[in-house]
Chain A
């Protein structure tokens, strides 16, 4: 047995015990958060256990290529983004935390609207995310953190089901520019399964503005089954990390050379698309 306490398997009694401890700590304010708002106590004791149920038993996530993530030091994971509500960001974070030998924390970069939204913004910060901005990314790299970006953003999660696994536009490649400037390796990541968990068939028009969200989706179960409709379909997920793309061999000045930045961005995008196709080719069943 390794001395490392298994953070992934706890009996029900142990879990309840842990929860009562954590509630006690939280009542006294006896926990630390970092400058970005990451709250390890909350994330490890409450948030991850909750979503680990989905990860392990519902989506049965299979992780490939975890060895492509460095044991320490900064790196930038670039992933496709899909599944209507962006649950994939959470599953990739959990995949890195649970499968990486060092149980590293993956710090996601989120869109502006996420941090403007009540509740979602607070939870995003609490669980290690920060706003996708140059200043924040530079700071995370300087601190040696593992950062994740989903450059398709809303275009990725909000695309209709018929466009599943077709990568959307990657924007201006701001993430590449930051990675090149810091000489940080880029690790392409492909997520398969999220598209089928929440197939977005359409949108309910008009209501989204009222609710302050980008869109209100129609899926096979939502809104038809009401609250039950938010339960995702039990698709089988595969998360694959590809080989790192080195940027430390590039001149630091290429970080503000648009041509060089877009070239790397296109290369990373093509790699992820290729990985997606390869996984899909070998997939025998969506739910198996």
Chain B
């Protein structure tokens, strides 16, 4: 029997690339890509379906397709319509609909969810190194991290109700790389990186190629028992070190002066940090990558340092003085 795979979030680069790569690596599988908007360019090997995850038709779709593998990759989509409110709505309700449909699907075998290491939170009292089982200290601010905590709860419920199926939650560190549009990547592209005075947090990032590879591996190779795994570029850098690697200046700012900083940078649109992102840039976050190596990403192509370097200002520009 051939496998039927659906991948959500193909309007975003992550979902589109995962769908394409699953189709390429797994010729037996029929791959359907779900997106809320029509895709600009067709993805080879992937049939795209325009559907809002919150709509009632989703359940019919999952049933009629006899879906066996679901890859939920839309939670981290940075460009959802409706801003943060719209993002939260589609993340919470969309995941509920999707997993409810999955639970009722008799053909279901495996579910993969692209989550974020932001579920660990970021605070002065966080453990120095998070392991997948460690819970967040205190409550999380509104943001993708909190959406994903809820989504992960729904995944656990699904795993309980469907012991015949497996689930893999892949928690990705902040995704970076050329052309990537996550909040972290956008931040790292600012001409001057505003930092919080007196704080130089420890950071990890993951290159988009490694994030894709981890999700594809998680899709193609289901675990024996349901798995939650943190994925990040190995090694740790401080924020000031990241700026040095990128070849960008950084500027410590007093808390509360974000508006003044934006004015100073002449970028009123940029660096409007969410609370979630500001916490990260104050307290930092590091996850253990041992489990990642043993499961979804045995051979990462990038470390945190080389992932950052992939976004560095070219040396010629740095030395030629053309900012």
Which residues of chain B from 265 to 302 have any CB-CB distance to chain A below 8 Å in the complex?
Answer: 284, 286
Per-residue B-contact encoding for A25-56, CB less than 8 Å = 1, 0 else: 01111111111110100000000000000000
Q: Is B244 an interface residue (CB 8 A)?
A: yes
Please determine whether A28 and B244 come into contact, CB atoms closer than 8 angstroms: yes
User: Is B317 positioned at the interface, with any CB of A under 8 Å from its CB?
Assistant: no
Q: What separation, in Å, do the CA atoms of A27 and B235 have in the docked complex?
A: 19
B245 within 8 A of partner (CB): yes
Complex contact A135–B127 (CB within 8 A): yes
The stretch among A92-100, A110-118, A146-154, A180-188 that forms the contact with chain B is: A110-118
A33–B202 CB distance below 8 A: yes
In the bound complex, CA of A34 to CA of B134 (Å):
20
Residue pair A121, B124 in contact (C-beta under 8 Å):
yes
Pair A112/B199 contact, Cβ less than 8 Å: no
* C-alpha spacing A112/B126, complex, angstroms: 10
Chain A residues closer than 8 Å to B127, beta-carbon distance: 131, 133, 135-136, 139
A118 to B, closest residue via Cβ: B198
User: Is the Cβ of B237 less than 8 Å from the Cβ of A131?
Assistant: no
* Cα A29 to Cα B203 with chains together (Å): 14
Is the CB–CB distance between B241 and A112 below 8 Å? no
Interface residue total, chain B, C-beta cutoff 8 A: 23
Contact for B236 among A26, A30, A33, A139, CB less than 8 A: A33
Docked-complex contact A118 and B245, CB < 8 angstroms: no
Against B, the Cβ 8 Å flags (1 = close, 0 = not) of A115-127 are 1111101100110
Q: With both chains docked as a complex, state the minimum distance between the C-beta of A16 and any C-beta of chain B, in angstroms.
A: 22
Bound Cα distance from A34 to B243, whole angstroms? 18
**Neighbouring A residues of B242 by C-beta, 8 Å:** 29
Main SS class of interface, A: mixed
Which A residues from 8 to 32 make CB contacts under 8 A with B?
A: 26-32
Partner of A139 from B125, B129, B200, B245 at Cβ < 8 Å: B129
Indicate if the CB atoms of B241 and A130 lie closer than 8 Å: no
Rounded to whole angstroms, the CA-CA distance of A87 and B196 in the bound complex is: 26
B197 sits at the interface (CB 8 A): yes
Contacts of A131 in B (CB 8 A): 124-125, 127-128
Q: Which of B124, B134, B236 contacts A37 (CB 8 A)?
A: B236
Q: How far is the CB of A13 from chain B (nearest CB, A)?
A: 27
A27 to B243, CA, bound (A): 9
Are A115 and B124 also in contact (CB < 8 A) when A122-B199, A139-B129 are? yes
Q: Which of A131-172 contact B (CB under 8 A)?
A: 131, 133, 135-136, 139
Contact partner, B128, options A26, A27, A36, A121, Cβ 8 Å: A36
In the complex, which of the residues B125, B128, B196, B241 has the most CB atoms of chain A within 10 Å of its own CB atom? B128
Q: Are A37 and B202 in contact (CB under 8 A)?
A: yes
Q: Which residues of A sit under 8 angstroms from B124, Cβ to Cβ?
A: 112, 115-116, 121, 131
A266 to B31, alpha carbons, bound, how many Å?
Answer: 65
> Could you tell me if A34 and B236 are in contact, using CB atoms closer than 8 angstroms?
yes
Other than the known A37-B236, A117-B198, A133-B127, what 5 A-B pairs have Cβ atoms closer than 8 Å?
A26-B244, A28-B245, A33-B237, A112-B125, A126-B238
Residues of B within 8 A of A (CB): 124-125, 127-129, 134, 196-200, 202, 235-238, 241-245, 284, 286
CB-defined A-B contacts under 8 Å, sample of 12:
A26-B244, A32-B235, A35-B129, A35-B236, A39-B238, A112-B125, A116-B124, A118-B197, A131-B127, A131-B128, A133-B127, A139-B129
